[in-house]
C-alpha cells in the first residue's frame, strides 16, 4: 500500500531549532559502533551540510562542546570524506562528471531502465531503497552504495546516468559527494569496483533481506559480472511499481531587491548568514536549475530556510543578475556549481568579497587522487 509522503512529519525542517536538536542528539561512540546498519545512530546532518546551513568546523565545534572528540573518531573521518569530495570539486571543476579512471566493463547503458526508475526490479533491497529515496529524499549511506552498485555492476548502467538520477531526488544532493561516490562505487575513482551481496544486506538491513535474487551470489561471481558486459536484468515476474516524484527548475519569486548598496548575496548552498548586519538577497540562477532539477521538497527546504533568514529571494538569469548587482558592495560565499561559480567569479573581479566555505581540513592545491593521500596530507594540520 502506498502512503502519501506529504502526510508524514517533515524529517528535515529547515530551521535552526531542528539543526540544534540534531546536533544535540549525536553520540559519536554509538555512531562509530552502528553507522553501517540502516537503523544505526547516524546524524542525518547531510541536507544541512550540503546547503551550507552549517559547515564541518561548526559541527565539530558543537560536538566538542559535549564530547571528547578525537581525530581518530569515525565521525570526524566521515566528515573528512565530505571535505575530500569538495576538495576534488574545487580542483577539478566539471571534471568530476567524467570517469577519473577506466570502468571495469567495456559497455554501460546511457539510461536507467524503467524497472529501476519505478522501484520494480524484484530485488527487495533495491526496490525499498528507491521507494525511500522518493518518499523522503534521504538514504542511509549503505543503501546508496547498494543501489549504486546494483545499477552499475549488475545492470550495466553508466555511473553517470545513475548519479544524475539519484542526486535529483536527494534532499542533500551534492554534486561532489554524489557523483564522486558513484565513481567510487563504479571503480572509476579508485580502480576497484564496490560489490555487495545478499548476506551484506541481511546483516545491516534485515528488513530488506533479498535471498534468491540477483544479489544472492558470492563475491568472485559478482566480480566476474562487474567486469563482463552482462546485465542480469530485473527478477522474473511482475513487481509493484512506484511513481517517480516530479522535478522542478527554479521557482518564480516575487521579492524585490533591497535598496541598500551593501548586501550579502546568498544562494542555495549558503543558507547561513555570514554578514548579518547587511540585508540579504538570495539568488536562484535558472540556467543551473534547468540542468539540475529538484523535487518540491528540496525547494521547500531551501525557500523555508531563506524565509527564516528574512532574505529576499530573486530568480534572475545570469546576465540579469550581473547587471542588477552592478555598483553594489557584495559579500558572497564561494560555490562550485556551474553558473553560480561563474557569477561569483565575475563578482570577485568587480571587487566583491568572496568568503570560502569554512573547512576543518586544508584544501591542498593539487587534487589528491585518493582519500588516503588527502587524509595523510591534511590530518596533521588539525590539532
Ligand X SMILES: Cc1cc2nc3c(=O)[nH]c(=O)nc-3n(C[C@H](O)[C@H](O)[C@H](O)COP(=O)(O)OP(=O)(O)OC[C@H]3O[C@@H](n4cnc5c(N)ncnc54)[C@H](O)[C@@H]3O)c2cc1C
What are the residues binding ligand X (CB under 6 A)? 35, 42-46, 49-50, 78-79, 81-82, 85, 140-141, 144-145, 148, 167, 170, 172-174, 177-178, 181-182, 185
Nearer to ligand X (CB atom), residue 294 or residue 316: 294
Nearer to ligand X (CB atom), residue 123 or residue 325: 123
Closest approach of ligand X to the CB of residue 172, in Å: 4
Closest approach of ligand X to the CB of residue 346, in Å: 27
Residues 25, 313: Cα–Cα separation, whole Å:
32
Nearer to ligand X (CB atom), residue 181 or residue 197: 181
Nearest to 159 by CA among 104, 114, 214: 104
Nearest to 157 by CA among 111, 213, 198, 190: 111
Nearer to ligand X (CB atom), residue 174 or residue 235: 174
Nearest to 93 by CA among 367, 364, 291: 367
DSSP letters spanning 276-339: TTS-EEEEE-HHHHHHS-B-HHHHHHHHHHHHHHT-EEEE--HHHHHHHTTT-EEEEE---STT
Closest approach of ligand X to the CB of residue 115, in Å: 19
Nearer to ligand X (CB atom), residue 135 or residue 322: 135
Closest approach of ligand X to the CB of residue 56, in Å: 7
Planar angle of CA 365, 372, 146, nearest 5 degrees: 115
Closest approach of ligand X to the CB of residue 258, in Å: 32
Residues 215, 217: Cα–Cα separation, whole Å:
6
Closest approach of ligand X to the CB of residue 357, in Å: 12
Nearer to ligand X (CB atom), residue 176 or residue 198: 176
Nearer to ligand X (CB atom), residue 23 or residue 330: 23
Closest approach of ligand X to the CB of residue 11, in Å: 11
67 Cβ contact partners less than 8 Å away, ≥ 6 residues apart = 27, 28
* Strand (E) or helix (H) holding 355: strand 353-355
Q: Is 63 exposed, middle or buried (0-12, 13-18, 19+ CB in 10 A)?
A: buried
Residue carrying the nine cell digits 581540513: 361
Distances from the Cα of 225 to the Cαs of 104, 146, 161, in angstroms? 10, 15, 19
In three-state secondary structure terms, 269 is coil
Amino acid at each position: 500500500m502506498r502512503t502519501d509522503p506529504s502526510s508524514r512529519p517533515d524529517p528535515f525542517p529547515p530551521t535552526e531549532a531542528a539543526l540544534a536538536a540534531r546536533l544535540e542528539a549525536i553520540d559519536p561512540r554509538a555512531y562509530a559502533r552502528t553507522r553501517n546498519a540502516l537503523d544505526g545512530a547516524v546524524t542525518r546532518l547531510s541536507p544541512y551540510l550540503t546547503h551550507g546551513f552549517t559547515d564541518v568546523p561548526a559541527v565539530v565545534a558543537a560536538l566538542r562542546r559535549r564530547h571528547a572528540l578525537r581525530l581518530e573518531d569515525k565521525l570526524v573521518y566521515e566528515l573528512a570524506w565530505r571535505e575530500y569530495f569538495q576538495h576534488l570539486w574545487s580542483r577539478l571543476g566539471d571534471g568530476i562528471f567524467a570517469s577519473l579512471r577506466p570502468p571495469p566493463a567495456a559497455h554501460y547503458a546511457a539510461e536507467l531502465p524503467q524497472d529501476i526508475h519505478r522501484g520494480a526490479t524484484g530485488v527487495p533491497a533495491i526496490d525499498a531503497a528507491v521507494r525511500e529515496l522518493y518518499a523522503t529524499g534521504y538514504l542511509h549511506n549503505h543503501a546508496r552504495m547498494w543501489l549504486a552498485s546494483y545499477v552499475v555492476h549488475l545492470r550495466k548502467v553508466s555511473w553517470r546516468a545513475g548519479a544524475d538520477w539519484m542526486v535529483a531526488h536527494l534532499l542533500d544532493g551534492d554534486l561532489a559527494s554524489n557523483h564522486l561516490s558513484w565513481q567510487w562505487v563504479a571503480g572509476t575513482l579508485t580502480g576497484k569496483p564496490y560489490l555487495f551481496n545478499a548476506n551484506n544486506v541481511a546483516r545491516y538491513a534485515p528488513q530488506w533481506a533479498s535471498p534468491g535474487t540477483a544479489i544472492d551470489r558470492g563475491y568472485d561471481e559478482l566480480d566476474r559480472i562487474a567486469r563482463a558486459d552482462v546485465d542480469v536484468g530485473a527478477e522474473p515476474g511482475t513487481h509493484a511499481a512506484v511513481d517517480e516524484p516530479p522535478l522542478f527548475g527554479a521557482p518564480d519569486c516575487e521579492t524585490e531587491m533591497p535598496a541598500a548598496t551593501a548586501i550579502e548575496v546568498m544562494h542555495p548552498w549558503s543558507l547561513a548568514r555570514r554578514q548579518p548586519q547587511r540585508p540579504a538577497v538570495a539568488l536562484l540562477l535558472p540556467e543551473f536549475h534547468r540542468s539540475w532539477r529538484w523535487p518540491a521538497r528540496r525547494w521547500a527546504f531551501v525557500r523555508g530556510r531563506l524565509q527564516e533568514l528574512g532574505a529576499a529571494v530573486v530568480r534572475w538569469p545570469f546576465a540579469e543578475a550581473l547587471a542588477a548587482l552592478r555598483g553594489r558592495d557584495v559579500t558572497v560565499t564561494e560555490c562550485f556549481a556551474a553558473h553560480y561559480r561563474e557569477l561569483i567569479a565575475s563578482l570577485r573581479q568587480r571587487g566583491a568579497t568572496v568568503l570560502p566555505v569554512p573547512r576543518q581540513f586544508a584544501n591542498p592545491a593539487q587534487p589528491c587522487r585518493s582519500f588516503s593521500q588527502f587524509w595523510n596530507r591534511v590530518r596533521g594540520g588539525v590539532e
